[in-house]
Amino acid sequence: MNPNKKILIIDDEFFFRKILTDALSNGYDIIEGENGDEAISLALAHKPNLIIMDVEMPVKSGIEACKVLKSIAETSHIPVILFTSRSKKEDLILGLKAGADDYITKPINLSEVLARVDAHLRTRDYYTELEHKDLLFLLELSENISALRSPMAILRLIVDRMNDIVDVSRCSIVSINDSGEAFVKASSDLKMNDEIKLELFKYPEIRKSFESKQTVIVNDIKTDPLMNSVREYIQDLDYNSIVVIPIIKKESVIGTFFLRTASPYKNGITVRIQKLCQLVANISANALENAILFESMKTAQEYFEDMSIRDGLTKLYNHRHFYNRLEEEFSRANRYNSPLSLIFFDIDDFKRVNDIYGHTKGDKVLKQIGQLLKSVARESDIAARYGGEEFALLLPNTNAAGALDVTNRLSAIIREHKFEKMNGEQITISAGTATLLGKNIESYEQLVRLADDAMYKAKKHGKDCITQA
């Protein structure tokens, strides 16, 4: 790292700036600011080599500041890394549209931050081992990848072009999902859109890269101790060395991808191949992730609309959308004289879960409760996270008996569910139901009050029970 290179860190939280400054000050000159306006003025004054900026800031947001910086000739070339919460994917798309070069989600992993900073500030010395055709290849690959919106097309382009430019036996992109299953998503010896599931225990080099989130190089598969456990599987392979490089490490967004290149060279992975693979991984990462984000919804507009009505953690409807739908369904039920039931429930002793197992585990419990709620709900029902550990389920065309049946099933499913790493501890709920039938309830607000009161009666009655209004 070059100490003459300057990094501008912009965040309104002093503690966060200090963490980044402590991590980066040994290798770079650090300039600090607190808001988007300071980002612009400090960038113009100091001409930093890199800007790291939070999205959510007072006065001017990171997205607004990025848009301005990219519109000014003096600062447009400076790479910008944005920090944003994992739950706010809409910020990612807005930031990229504003011209951001990269982003990292909070809470941060310092090793990932250092790797990203190093990738954006690599000196010219890094390229000395590359050939002229390599530089032309990287330029061409970058331009082609940026124009693609299909993740599979990007993966295919990477493996095909790597196979053309470097004398390798096989170039593959491997993905590991949240369940720890590994799949070859694209390979120079696979047809387009073909996919192969890997038995990960047979690929210790991929497993090590996944666990360490670092590049793994095996210069001789016959002698490297890492390969001892799979020696019987590799005796007849037509390659001698392997390099595995993580392409994308933001697992919470799309999963983990690895560029795996196998080479026949007897002297191991050359510096040229290693650097070329690393650069391909770097320039592929943003475009690949952007493509997957955009593909997740038919259009960006649909994405924004859906995110605006969802709870970020559970992906159930949020409090505001719940009330919009409640008002609509109440009006419809009155118009057609049909029943409408509402269930409110609260997780019993949820504070204890947070106190004993931590808020991260508490969040996972909330997410799993959301999934269990969706498993009980019909397509016409409206399931929502009402707030904190409270949930709601609106049941159109459902009478009081039907609401009680659904609540009993939901309560049983949650009680019997084995929550991960909870030492077998049982989670229970207290629930209340209320039903509009004829003109017995005057407004949707009254329906909410009745269901809410019934829920609190259930809690007072000893929890893990159901009360009907």
Please identify every residue annotated as catalytic: 389
Give the separation between CA 137 and CA 143, rounded to whole angstroms.
10
Cα(263)–Cα(260) distance, integer angstroms: 10
The dihedral built from the CA positions of residue 379, 381, 382 and 384, taken in this order, carries a sign that is negative
Q: Taking the CA atoms of 398, 403, 407 and 409 in sequence, report the sign of the dihedral they define.
A: negative
Helix (H) or strand (E) holding 263: strand 256-263
Place of tokens 């084995």: 418
Using DSSP's 3-state secondary structure scheme, residue 5 falls into coil
> What are the backbone angles phi and psi of residue 79, rounded to the nearest 5°?
-65, 140
Nearest CA-CA partner of 258 in 296, 210, 318, 298: 210
Alpha-carbon torsion angle 455, 461, 467, 469, nearest 10: -80
Q: Give the C-alpha separation, 152 to 259, whole Å.
A: 14
- Got the DSSP string for 364-395? HHHHHHHHHHHHHS-TTSEEEEEETTEEEEEE
Residue 345 is classified by DSSP as: E
**Encoding tokens for residue 60?**
């001017």
